[in-house]
Structure 1
């Protein structure tokens, strides 16, 4: 009798348990099919790029795509490789090789979405400019990652520089550095990831857990904007990151070119309002231009003090009468903006490392 009662209890328990499991699996599959992802760090970036089709007729067409990100204990998060779009390192463009053709020069364009976003980003235009104006071959690798800060650029150099040994590294950051931190400044996030790595990786794999996290964040409310909210990279840490990157590049036998980030963003610009009121990247649109200028001033000062080549694109673009037309949103460049950025960079990069022509 006792055995029969246990069997009945087991059957009574198994039915609801199986139904609950089926419901959870259905929810997980449904969220995956819907393309749902959520995290407190960027999970993906969307891009548009102009690609060439070479056949009987040579045509250009635009390809829209997205690059997914995953957590990384060193880089905080990094792009996932996507065949046909990114290389095995997760960066847009061809494979990176430690082998370098004799007589060639290698440029690594380090940056954020300003470096990688756009129909034909300035690193590709820079390769064209360098190749057209010299006899020796130039490789220009796009090492830009949308949402990255100078901290992440620094960590990338620490892990990749010894292997690939670029002759010139262009360093173009600033925007993401002075956005408000999601939780803690970037330099402290590595410790946060280390403490909660297993939990975070489990959440990263489950869309259902991500949905629950989103609901919990919605209940708690969004990020609070206050004068005490830390930036992802403070002005002092930004300076230290720049100095460290210049030092690393030089120690590896190359030269770093520091780049100021151009903009036409003003307090009344729609994007400035959206960044402060909707996405909450910044606290006060009236202060945005001044803070960005402070970060650009640090770039200029570091370049002067360490003797690094400076591509002052912020100053150059501010003098252009049609500057407004060179930006898609006050931050990111249009196709023509990327062309002009490449032209501004070309003589600075060439002087930083002039191959034998």
Structure 2
């Protein structure tokens, strides 16, 4: 709701005026105090009637995601047993629509704009799978990650884990690839699911395609001031407030209270803090905490994977922009997306930090360096792989899957039963101490942008 801040301010001003008038003129006492709540009831009723008229019976899903729900362990997760094309009312989960499609309030148009975004009975994207492998010779692979693994805005068969399965089978490998990506998840949520679920489903290989949300959720928590390593948000908090606000506000049935909370946490605080023209946001690119926390979560994966003879790989997936862009390439990317020059600079610097973290961890967890392979695609050929700044389109997903497939098959340990990890506590400590410490070049770049923004 674009005019929400002004609407909420106007509402509060009018209500304050009403309350002052009521108190001064009538001086209500006892049951008369209920008169203070009459305007709120009228406002709530009017708001609901307007929403119902505009969006229909299921108007709440015009505000909240339908396909993303609260989860008692992970904070939020995909709604189990969901098939996007079969939902019989308008939904507005943008990740379930083809890129460039604005969800319509008209049901037929709404359904037509959706991609096949299906969640099985266990909460994983894609088809059902048996809890225990039916074929002991089959290689079971789990692809864990955020929206770049769940693959927002593309169909089930266009997501790179599904394409990877097809690639492997096409090369004679009896493999099953399960998409364990969930949009907006952090590495901590992925670790919780690995520890509580995936470890029990007989995985042979786990691929970790993560990192983007580490910086995002750190910055989103009041520029790190309210950030905690193991913090979990509910579905409503994640979708409309980007902050931990507590169960009263996040689960309130009152639309008025929800809009009031969202107006403060999202419209006032989040948008102001997360503005790429805010020099304080850029300071987050010099912080080490969230990258070290990410590294700790990867090490948790490694310890459990090693003890269970599971092979573990990280995937260094690309973003659209990078620190190596030429001026002409950068302008092409900016003009064809919602990026601005300062936004693109931030994305490139952030991506560089993610890359350095993954490559540092490579001494313990093998890294499939997709970014290096895809860096051969420059200019328009690179732009043709992306929906936006980080999400790949079907063509990009196919290329990523092909690169991952080549990397797996070229690893001599791929068919073996032993782990592929070189876990060493001394190495872990030495690597962790350097995680998030920028080199002089990157720090100089960040400092120059901060200085520019402060002028």
Common fold by TM > 0.5: yes
Residue 109 (structure 1) aligned with residue 143 (structure 2): yes
Q: For the structure 1 residues 294 and 164, does the alpha-carbon distance in structure 2 shift closer, same or farther, using more than 3 Å as the test?
A: same
Alignment partner, residue 375 of structure 2: 318
Count residues with an aligned counterpart: 313
| Aligned-pair CA distance for 1:318 | 0.5
Alignment partner, residue 215 of structure 1: 263
Which secondary structure state, in structure 2, belongs to the residue aligned with residue 250 of structure 1? helix
Q: For the structure 1 residues 78 and 135, does the alpha-carbon distance in structure 2 shift closer, same or farther, using more than 3 Å as the test?
A: closer
Alignment partner, residue 330 of structure 1: 389
Alignment partner, residue 68 of structure 2: 69
Equivalences for residues 270-281 of structure 1 within 5 A: 270=334
* Contact persistence 2:132–2:202 (CA under 8 A): no
- Distance in structure 2 (CA, Å) of the matches to 1:191 and 1:115: 20
Q: For the structure 1 residues 28 and 247, does the alpha-carbon distance in structure 2 shift closer, same or farther, using more than 3 Å as the test?
A: farther
Which secondary structure state, in structure 2, belongs to the residue aligned with residue 181 of structure 1? helix
Which secondary structure state, in structure 2, belongs to the residue aligned with residue 130 of structure 1? helix
Which secondary structure state, in structure 2, belongs to the residue aligned with residue 176 of structure 1? helix
| Aligned-pair CA distance for 1:86 | 0.8
* Contact persistence 1:257–1:348 (CA under 8 A): no
Equivalences for residues 105-254 of structure 1 within 5 A: 105-117=139-151, 118-119=154-155, 120-134=158-172, 136=174, 138-179=175-216, 180-183=218-221, 184-185=226-227, 187-190=229-232, 198-203=247-252, 205-217=253-265, 218=267, 222-224=271-273, 225=278, 226=280, 227=282, 234-254=290-310
- Distance in structure 2 (CA, Å) of the matches to 1:16 and 1:299: 57
Alignment partner, residue 402 of structure 2: 343
Residues 78-128 of structure 1: CA distance to partner in whole angstroms, max 9, x if unpaired?
222253221123322122431211221111111111112224011010010
Question: Which of 68, 86, 92 pairs up with 2:125?
Answer: 92
Which secondary structure state, in structure 1, belongs to the residue aligned with residue 360 of structure 2? helix
Q: RMSD between aligned alpha carbons?
A: 3.8
- Distance in structure 1 (CA, Å) of the matches to 2:270 and 2:250: 24
- Distance in structure 1 (CA, Å) of the matches to 2:187 and 2:385: 24
Alignment partner, residue 48 of structure 1: none
Greater share of residues in strand: 1
5+ residue gaps in structure 2? Answer: 1-29, 84-117, 238-243, 323-329, 418-455
Question: Which of 415, 419, 427 pairs up with 1:354?
Answer: 415
Residues 212-241 of structure 1: CA distance to partner in whole angstroms, max 9, x if unpaired?
222334466734241555989712112222
With a CA cutoff of 8 Å and minimum separation of 6, indicate the structure with the bigger relative contact order: 1
* Contact persistence 1:151–1:233 (CA under 8 A): no
Alignment partner, residue 315 of structure 2: 259
Residues 183-224 of structure 1: CA distance to partner in whole angstroms, max 9, x if unpaired?
23362524999x975425523x54443222223344667342
* Contact persistence 2:319–2:390 (CA under 8 A): yes
* Contact persistence 2:229–2:290 (CA under 8 A): no
* Contact persistence 1:157–1:248 (CA under 8 A): no
Residues 306-341 of structure 1: CA distance to partner in whole angstroms, max 9, x if unpaired?
1x3321001110023532321222311121111111
Residues 4-27 of structure 1: CA distance to partner in whole angstroms, max 9, x if unpaired?
xxxxxx999999989975763553
* Contact persistence 2:133–2:202 (CA under 8 A): no
* Contact persistence 1:178–1:292 (CA under 8 A): no
- Distance in structure 2 (CA, Å) of the matches to 1:86 and 1:122: 16
Residues 115-148 of structure 1: CA distance to partner in whole angstroms, max 9, x if unpaired?
1222401101001011111253x21111111212
Which secondary structure state, in structure 1, belongs to the residue aligned with residue 214 of structure 2? coil
* Contact persistence 2:318–2:370 (CA under 8 A): yes
Greater share of residues in helix: 2
